Amino acid sequence: MSNLQLEYTRDEILATDRIDEPLVLAGVRCHGGYLDGRYVNPRTRFRKPAIEAWRQHHTETFGTDILHAPLDTWPGSYPNVAQTKFLLREGIREPVIANLTRIGTVEGFGAMLGMMAVPDMQRFFVEDIRGTALDHLEKGLLEAHGRDEGGWAEEAGHQHMWYVVRDLAFESPPVEDQTSLMMERLGGTGGSSADADARRERFLADRMFDDLDASLEMLLAMSARVLFIECKAFHVFRWAQEVLSDADLVAGEGKPAELVGCILSDERPHVGYAEIALTEARDRTFVGLSGKRYPGSDVVGALWDRGLATSLGVLEDQNRAFVLSEIERALAKHPRRGAILEEFHSLGDQRPGSGTTETPPGVPVGY
């Protein structure tokens, strides 16, 4: 067995490596920074090596593969790069601006992860969970993820970093009230305690395992769903990098694409810890409220399958319908509406229906 450090304090999980230059764009102090010209992710001084140590330890102890969701499981971004550049060449900027606003809005939801930690996770498992990612969810992992997405103190997180991307690329377009409009179009206001309570009630009405602790099931289900959102996001971020690096179509002298690259690298630890924590739960035995024991493969397998089906199904449909509705909104009074729509569709591989798709209870919106 390798000599690995498996236990970390909350302060260690939240610690950032030394930087010699902060990341500041458009007057916004973003998280992370630069050391010798290389971007340094926030809160990864110990988090990155911890994730690799837990991964290695689990493989050596259980001899099983880590749960993994290949990126090609999801279709590419909609609209694709060609469709997006076509819109921009036609002077149709609003749907792209709206999409960047939506991405930032969705990233902001991630701040809630810090509030989902469940104390004393050991009571839910037969086997020891010391020295695991599972045990560190409440010891800083969820909090670090939440800070990455929503920001912390004076440092902007991904939510506002995407707004910086948008504002640099499109020279601060008039979107003062667009975030609230985005929330209405996405089906909620997102951040209030009343909304959080309502989401929890809807989740409880749709549980899969009545004998398991409700907060535990909700945490694991959300972990799977967030993991799938993060995987899908890699396609979206690469789309943004390619579009926003085209100086003939957007402003910012390449800075928007560079900032997207920083955000993309920040997301890798999110995928890493979620995959490992879910794997650790899968390979253990759950203890129900009645004392009955359940194979982790049954519990995690069911939550994984439902979350994946939701990501590839309703969320994908919702996202595509949202994009098309924004394009149709922008073209509503355009004299060449029909011709532009037809050319737009001809550059894509799918033609979704227009309108919006309601998100099922308890399911977070995605990209």
CA dihedral (258, 100, 234, 85) in degrees, to 10, reads -80
pLDDT of residue 357: 41
**Residue 61 main-chain phi, psi, to 5 deg:** -80, -45
| Residue that the structure tokens 């049954």 belong to | 298
At 206-235, the pLDDT tens digits run: 899 999 999 999 999 999 999 999 999 999
pLDDT of residue 60: 96
295 Cβ neighbours under 8 A, 6+ residues apart: 285, 286
CA 255 to chain CA centroid, nearest Å: 22
Which pTM was predicted? 0.90
Segment 113-117 shows an average pLDDT of 90
Contact status, residue 103 vs residue 78, Cβ threshold 8 Å: no
At 334-345, the pLDDT tens digits run: 999 999 999 999
220 Cβ neighbours under 8 A, 6+ residues apart: 278, 281, 299, 300, 303
Q: Which pair of tokens denotes residue 22?
A: 């902060």
218 Cβ neighbours under 8 A, 6+ residues apart: 116, 200, 203
Radius of gyration of the chain (CA): 21
pLDDT of residue 363: 44
pLDDT of residue 184: 59
Domain ranges of the chain: 10-346
pLDDT of residue 178: 52
Grade residue 365 by pLDDT with cuts at 50, 70 and 90.
low
pLDDT: which is higher, 177 or 318: 318
pLDDT of residue 361: 43
pLDDT of residue 323: 93
Residues forming a β-bridge with 24: 29
